[in-house]
Amino acid sequence: MPTTPSQTVGPFFAIELPYGDGRYAVPEGTPGAVWLRGRVLDGDGAPVPDALVETWQADPSGQFGGDFRGFGRSGTDDEGRWAILTLKPGPIPGASGEAAQAPHVDLNIFARGLLHQVVTRLYFADEGQANAADPVLAGLDEDARATLVAQPCADGYELDVHLQGPHETTFFAV
């Protein structure tokens, strides 16, 4: 039974998708909460004001499926900015004999002009040792790796997503 094709999210998804507390994977005031934030930029380096960023991640102990929602969703503003309040994930146990994965967040990015979402990962700059052992980062060259590593900022971590151009983000085929 063949699968249903993807189509663009279009410019008007805000009618439905960013409802409620989408930007809050945890409520404001949660101890240890951090903002993951950044911009979505196009091939000219211009902000993409009508993108939707979704995050999916483990809880601080590296587990999925507990009380922690693990999911965040943020539209971008006129400057292309997105932001999601969450808890930093823990390292994820390795599967099939692999090393553990460094703390990371999977990102789905949707936008007008994207006929299919693009998938990337966000890693954390202050996890140098874990990042060095991560099986996904290990498969990438240094430049490609750098596009996935969020830098600490005042209230959390910051990572820009470049859909295209000299700083193009590393996107994954899943």
Q: Identify which of residues 34 and 110 has a Cβ nearer to another protein in the complex.
A: 110
State how far the Cα of 17 lies from the Cα of 15, in Å rounded to an integer: 7
Q: Min. distance of Cβ 37 from another protein in angstroms?
A: 20
Q: Identify which of residues 154 and 166 has a Cβ nearer to another protein in the complex.
A: 166
Q: Min. distance of Cβ 152 from another protein in angstroms?
A: 22
Torsion of CA 32, 150, 117, 106, to 10 degrees: -50
CA 144 vs. chain centroid, Å, equals 15
State how far the Cα of 58 lies from the Cα of 124, in Å rounded to an integer: 14
Q: Min. distance of Cβ 151 from another protein in angstroms?
A: 21
Q: Min. distance of Cβ 172 from another protein in angstroms?
A: 4
State how far the Cα of 93 lies from the Cα of 1, in Å rounded to an integer: 33
Provide the β-strand partners of residue 118.
109
Q: Identify which of residues 11 and 152 has a Cβ nearer to another protein in the complex.
A: 11
Q: Identify which of residues 34 and 147 has a Cβ nearer to another protein in the complex.
A: 147
Residues forming the site for another protein (CB under 8 A): 1-17, 19-20, 42-44, 46, 48, 50, 54, 56-58, 64-65, 69-71, 92-98, 101, 104, 106, 108, 110-119, 136, 139-140, 144, 163-164, 168-174
Count other C-beta atoms under 10 Å from residue 158's C-beta: 18
Provide the β-strand partners of residue 110.
52
